[in-house]
Amino acid sequence: MKAKTHPKTVRRSVALARQLVDDVKAAAPPELRENLNRLVTVALQEFAAKRKERAFEEVMAQMAADPAIQAECAAISKEFAAAETDGLKND
């Protein structure tokens, strides 16, 4: 039995407030202003990227606040402290 494949394009109809569309078109680069489909695609790509970035930052902040991670970082820093006196410049 063949597995069902999903199309690469998802078609949806959405209702957008006229003021939102006007505001977005005014802020968009010229090459996107008259292509609402492309404009929405780019906006969603940027939204997804920002959400992933925010999620990563939150996880990193949680790790930085973790006492076990802090202890491990302190131990590593202590082990490498001798290398800081090697006479090399920090440029």
Mean pLDDT of 18-32: 94
pLDDT band at 91 (very low <50, low <70, confident <90, very high): low
Please, what is the end-to-end C-alpha distance for the chain in angstroms?
63
Asked if residue 3 belongs to a domain, the reply is no
- Residue 39: CB atoms within 10 A of its CB come to 19
Is residue 6 pLDDT above 70, yes or no? yes
Can you give the pLDDT at residue 88?
73
Q: How many domains does the chain have?
A: 1
Can you give the pLDDT at residue 69?
94
Q: Structural domain of residue 54, as residue ranges?
A: 18-81
Asked if residue 90 belongs to a domain, the reply is no
Is residue 1 pLDDT above 70, yes or no? no
